[in-house]
Amino acid sequence: MYKTSIRISVLACALAAATLALAGDDPGHERHELMEGVRDAAKPVGAMMKGEADYDQATLMTSLETFASAADQLGGLFPDGSEGGEAAPAIWEDRAGFEAAIAEWQDVTAAAIAANPATLDDAKPVVGPVFGACKNCHDSYRIEEE
């Protein structure tokens, strides 16, 4: 009993530290890292959709979960005063529109997860809107540097 509660409080500390790291004072760096994770998750999915890699349902589902988690975190990473980088001024000028773009991404990602597509033909119609949401948001809210 005693040991268990020590273990739980160690875990609670680790969780608190992780939360602090997420809410750190360099949101520009955090959203860059978050989107790099999204990019890495998107790569294998893009290859499958183009037929360059065999369809793998588990890989797709893992990537969709990464998108869902990123979408949940994204809105909190653009506080006032963190303007700059690839983040377009429109995020601060039209916060409602930006939040709507996040919500759209959450919705289509949740729908694709719920569909749990077993084949490439099943996946295409639900994954298409997920990538559409990336482009849709980037068109208005991201300044591409490359």
The residues that touch ligand HEC, with contacts defined as CB under 6 A, are 28, 31-32, 35-36, 38-39, 42, 67, 74, 85-87, 101-102, 105, 130, 133-134, 137-138, 141-142
Residue with tokens 């749990």: 116
> Of 86 and 122, which CB lies nearer to ligand HEC in the complex structure?
86
Shortest CB 9 distance to ligand HEC, Å: 36
| Cβ burial, residue 113 (10 Å; 0-12/13-18/19+) | middle
| Cβ burial, residue 138 (10 Å; 0-12/13-18/19+) | middle
> Of 10 and 143, which CB lies nearer to ligand HEC in the complex structure?
143
How far is it, in rounded angstroms, from Cα 126 to Cα 85? 31
Shortest CB 119 distance to ligand HEC, Å: 21
Contact call for residues 48 and 54 (beta carbons, < 8 A): yes
Tokens of 30: 């955090």
Shortest CB 73 distance to ligand HEC, Å: 11
> Of 7 and 128, which CB lies nearer to ligand HEC in the complex structure?
128
> Of 110 and 142, which CB lies nearer to ligand HEC in the complex structure?
142
> Of 12 and 36, which CB lies nearer to ligand HEC in the complex structure?
36
Shortest CB 17 distance to ligand HEC, Å: 24
Task: Write b or e for each residue in 58-88: b if 16 or more Cβ atoms lie within 10 A of its Cβ, otherwise e.
Answer: ebbeebbebbbebbeebeebbeeebeeeebb
Shortest CB 3 distance to ligand HEC, Å: 43
